Structure 1
Amino acid sequence: MTGQFKAISISFKKAPLELREHIALNEGEVKSLLMRIKEVFSVNEALVLSTCNRTEIYFLSNEEIGEQMLGLLAAEKGVSSKDLAPYCDFIYDEDKAVRYLFEVATGLHSQVVGDIQLPNQIKHAYQWCADMEMAGPYLHRLMHTVFFVNKRVFQETGFRDGAASTSYAAVETIESFLPLLPNPKILVLGLGEMGQDVAMTLHDKGYQNFTVSNRTKSKAEELSKSLEFDVIDFENILSEVHRFDIIISSVRTEKPLITLDLVQSFKHQSVKYFVDLSVPRSIDQAIEDVAGMVVYDLDEIQQKTDQALESRKASIPHVSQIIDEALQDFNKWSDQMVVSPTIHKLKGALEQIRKDEMAKYMKSLSEEEAAKVDKITTSMMQKIIKLPVLQLKAACKRGEAETLIDVLNDLFNLEKVEA
């Protein structure tokens, strides 16, 4: 283990959506940033997590280089680090940084508490740092502990039950009647924050047969590159609505965009579902009086999210307890990592002494005698080393490892011994 675990974070808690969108990293950009971190700072273990709500860098270093790393992120995205600094948190205390990662990974710091997408996003981030050979013993152990915690949270708590975001609840609502619609055509109207969340949720759930329309077409076309949806002109939307089975709208408008007259003008009436997430409403509630037309408004969707959020919030103490237990075990392992190089050096020093002494007498011994002496001296060294190793591990638990390491270094001149 080389260095202390640290983190830098830009998240929705400080940064506006426009900034978060601008600095979000795809797989190629994450790997490029990891390579630059390794080259510039000689950091051998680092993980970059980038989602729609946060871009964060976790790393091992003895130096407080967060501001310089922020400069690398800014350069990767073609912005000024001065523009990012006000929205960035630097966590240099190792215990706080480790706990923060656990809390992020479980969804305690999510915009939607208990975000169910985070475990997969964390796994992707871990895979990418492993691909770049930036995951060493510390990160491997840390990430597998994180995965174990997430498994326990899923199995033992209700922290991820239900749809706790409006966008997720909207998609969950349409899923309830998808069996009635073979291969339905879905239209998403509007790409404000709500509309983007809906599009991302559809994509994350594996839907491919959906179309998006936005007043600013270029914004829709840019997002379609990563989410792989079709785009239609907003100016033509009224003549296109009839083609779709499900319409989810979050368009800002003073009066309904989709009116009763429009729906009544459809030549071929078929069952259609409208989900209105707009305030004021963009879909005329009277449409529900037309045979085969079903309308859900924001209040109905929000009721689902409120129930889910209450359930998730009630599970937070249990989630925190699971994290506390995992942190105790991880910290014990991490503490032992501190003394591991000293243990290896001490074993190496004693083994060299044994070999040097053996070499003095090997020529006068038969092959059988040499084998016996080798076995006896090896057993002796193992017994001699046992007590210092136990004492080092015990010193870790007491927080006194550094003192004992210094004593052993002086006694056996371990600074000259390779670990």
Structure 2
Amino acid sequence: MTFVVIGINHRTAPVEIREKVVFAGTELPDALRALNGIPGVRESVIVSTCNRTELYCFTDDPLGNAPAQPLVQWLGEWHDLAAHQLDLNDSLYQLQGQSAVQHVFNVASGLDSLVLGEPQILGQLKDAYRAALDHGVTGPFLNRLLQTAFSVAKRVRTETRIGASAVSVASATVAMARTVFESFEPHTALLVGAGETIALAARHLHTNGLRRMIIANRSLDRAQELAKEFDGFAIGLDALATHLSEADIVISSTASPTPVITHDAVRTALRARKRKPIFMADIAVPRDIEPEVAKLEDIYLFTIDDLQNVVNENIESRREAARDAAQLIAAEIALFEQQLKTLDAVPTIRRLRDDAEALRAQTTEQARKMLAAGRDPREVMDFLAATLTNRLLHGPSQRLREAAERGDGDLIQAAKALFAPEPERSRREADLHGGHGEHGAEKEKSSAS
């Protein structure tokens, strides 16, 4: 039995391929049941995001020497890739055993993400696990793997600086603004443009407590759409100069070939603000804000180059943190594999206890009938003890005799270790650990002298 992971992600396949193997939320229940129905698949989880599609499985022997192949075949058939003339072999990664465990830990910790250390994937992984739990397709092994992965991810985020630094221009802009303003809550932001970068900056500002937002864009409809998401209000670019004096934070990213915020407009706004400072970030190419604005007092103007330098420094900082995280994960993998060995014994222990319970119930019922028939209670007690002992030891005794006949010394030694009386077991442990009790004390005294 082994863990198996197959999948594609942003590094192995372009979006044109990744979008062909996405599992929509509505099809996920059927997909989970179908995946878990593959002969040899005991437990399964499906992870499907914009950047990755992965199958996490715990598989049995019937999958053979290439345990991932039936999963690859199933993935292609489920998404009808033959009809798209699409071959995934060049894009798929196939991992098993310790490599699969390490991959899951890396994904949960953000070490395998498009943006190193981003926390979003952890929430997506938890959602995928919850869906698998709800549909009854996980079990003790994947449960242990995913729960440990979540614990490892928490350690990585708290014990390393993997998520401490901003690594997108938008997040770096907001982080830079925080060096100017102690709190965003009482302030107003004017965001110029309505593209992806401005939308991301708006989300970062909103998450950090900003409550008043103005979106300015050439297309008023698009500005209104973005403003609605954050309870802001929208204006056209022609109204910029009118509202500039309201803004404590200005972030601009348009596709305009000429500046949309002029030196004169900013100077007028400062006059109206009675010299209250303005943080300005121009993340457009060509620039949206006239360079001369930087010379005005009470203006903190940063360009795309300033911010990109911050991002590059932060990326390197995250890479260093990722190396620390990798060491932490390596230690966690070793611990996880030790814990996993205890799960291997669980079915045997359960069967042993079930068999013993069945013999106990059978023998106790016989004893009750003897008592009901008027037999001497002492005689019944002797019968109960002797019969239960004989029945419990019959099977092991017979197998040990057979082992002796065929010269199977390993089984006999294992039985000695398993059934050794407690004092003997304690003495063995003492010998293994350097001795305790009188003999151990003598050894310690001898070594001390």
**Please, what TM-score do these two structures have when normalized by structure 1?**
0.69
C-alpha distance in 1 between matches for 2:30 and 2:15: 26
2:323 corresponds to which of 300, 303, 317: 317
- What CA deviation, in whole Å up to 9, does each residue of 1:50-77 have, x standing for no partner? 55544444344556324534665x59xx
Alignment counterpart, residue 113 of structure 1, candidates 101, 112, 116: 116
Note if contact 2:193-2:253 (Cα within 8 Å) is conserved in structure 1: yes
Contact 2:363 2:388 in 1 (8 A): no
Q: Which residue matches 1:258?
A: 261
**2:156 aligned with 1:153:** yes
| CA–CA distance in structure 2, aligned partners of residues 20 and 202 of structure 1 | 31
List aligned pairs for 1:325-344, cutoff 5 A. 325-344=331-350
Aligned partners of 2:203 and 2:378: how far apart in 1?
72
Asked whether the equivalents of residues 105 and 329 of structure 2 are also in contact (C-alpha less than 8 Å), the reply is yes
Which has the larger displacement, 176-185 or 375-384?
375-384
Q: Distance in 2 between matches of 1:86 and 1:202?
A: 42
Matched, 1:36 2:30: yes
Query: What is the CA–CA distance in structure 2 between the aligned matches of 1:125 and 1:169, rounded to whole Å?
Result: 30
Partner of 1:392: none
Question: In structure 1, how many angstroms separate the alpha carbons of the residues matched to 2:72 and 2:226?
Answer: 30
- Match status 1:139 vs 2:142: yes
Contact 2:22–2:49 (CA under 8 A) maintained in structure 1: yes
SS at match of 1:58: strand
* TM value normalised by structure 2: 0.65
Structure 1 vs Structure 2 CA RMSD:
4.6
Residue number in structure 2 paired with 1:280 = 286
User: Offset at 1:280?
Assistant: 3.4
Q: Are the equivalent residues in 1 in contact too, given 2:259–2:287 (CA < 8 A)?
A: yes
Does residue 1:185 correspond to 2:189, yes or no? Answer: yes
Quote the Cα distance in structure 2 between the aligned partners of 1:385 and 1:224: 76
Partner of 1:9: 7
Does residue 99 of the first structure (1) align with residue 102 of the second (2)?
yes
Q: Distance in 2 between matches of 1:268 and 1:49?
A: 53
Q: Measured at CA, do residues 274 and 93 of structure 1 come closer, stay the same or move farther in structure 2, by a change above 3 Å?
A: same
1:308: how far off? 2.7
In the TM superposition, 1:338-417 aligns within 5 A as: 338-357=344-363, 359-360=365-366, 362-365=368-371
Map of 1:413 onto structure 2: none
Tell me how far apart the structure 1 counterparts of residues 122 and 239 of structure 2 sit (CA, whole Å).
37
Hey, what does 1:308 align to over in structure 2? 314
Partner of 1:415: none
Contact 2:359-2:392 at 8 Å conserved across structures: no
Conserved in 2, the CA contact under 8 Å of 1:255 and 1:280? Answer: yes
User: Aligned AA for 1:298?
Assistant: I
Output the amino acid matched with 1:171.
V
Q: Check if 1:166 corresponds to 2:169.
A: yes
Of 361-370 and 257-266, the range deviating more from structure 2: 361-370
Q: Which amino acid aligns with 1:326?
A: E
Q: Secondary structure in 2 aligned to 1:352?
A: helix
Unaligned ranges ≥5, structure 2: 64-69, 398-409, 415-449
Distance of aligned partners of 1:346 and 1:217 in 2 relative to their CA distance in 1, 3 Å threshold: farther
Structure 1 unaligned residues grouped into runs of 5+: 388-399, 405-419
| Structure exhibiting the larger radius of gyration computed from Cα positions | 2
CA shift in 2, pair 1:247/1:38, >3 Å? same
Measure how far apart 1:100 and its partner are. 0.8
Q: Distance in 1 between matches of 2:165 and 2:27?
A: 36
Question: What is the identity, as a one-letter code, of the residue corresponding to 1:185?
Answer: A
Determine if the alignment matches structure 1 residue 248 to structure 2 residue 246: no
